[in-house]
Structure 1
């Protein structure tokens, strides 16, 4: 599944890449080259980041589901205990 960024995010990412090359390396990278580099990162590295994020989200969800029995547990057969306490 290719990773595609919304237009606004893509534009901001390209501007960030251009700024990075300018400020960190003292070199100017054009808009087309920055876009191509972004495409490379999204295709080559993006899936690894995406898969890690999915695995982390799944781990957190499984932990929450495992706690459901603790949070939502109701004791059964308590009528007689409550009834005796009222007397």
Structure 2
């Protein structure tokens, strides 16, 4: 699997979140190196799954919006059709 790359600012923020989680939930201190290593591991091993799920969710939203637009166009055309006798 490919690794998702984060900016240095994003990495810093994520490392802090990982460290906070380990401290609060597992009562363990996790150093910056270990937290970055863990972030890299999850990014490489499961990141693509989350990324692909996000793309799939976005595709569903876009498809639903396009269906609505298509329905509105069809309704608009129907409204201006001339009757045939």
Please classify the TM superposition score into its range, dividing by the shorter chain length: 0.7 to 0.9
1:55: which partner in 2? 56
Cα deviations by residue, 1:35-85 (Å, 9 ceiling, x for unpaired): 00000111111110111110111111111112222223324543x8xxxxx
- Change in Cα spacing, 1:71 to 1:50, as seen in structure 2 (3 Å) is same
CA RMSD of aligned residues (A): 2.0
Unpaired runs of 5+ in structure 1?
81-87
Unpaired runs of 5+ in structure 2?
none
Q: How many residue pairs end up in the alignment?
A: 80
**Take 1:72 and 1:7, find their aligned partners in 2: how far apart are those partners?**
46
1:85: which partner in 2? none
Moved >4 Å (runs of 4+): none
Give the structure with higher Rg (CA). Answer: 1
Greater relative contact order: 1 or 2 (C-alpha under 8 angstroms, separation 6 or more)?
2
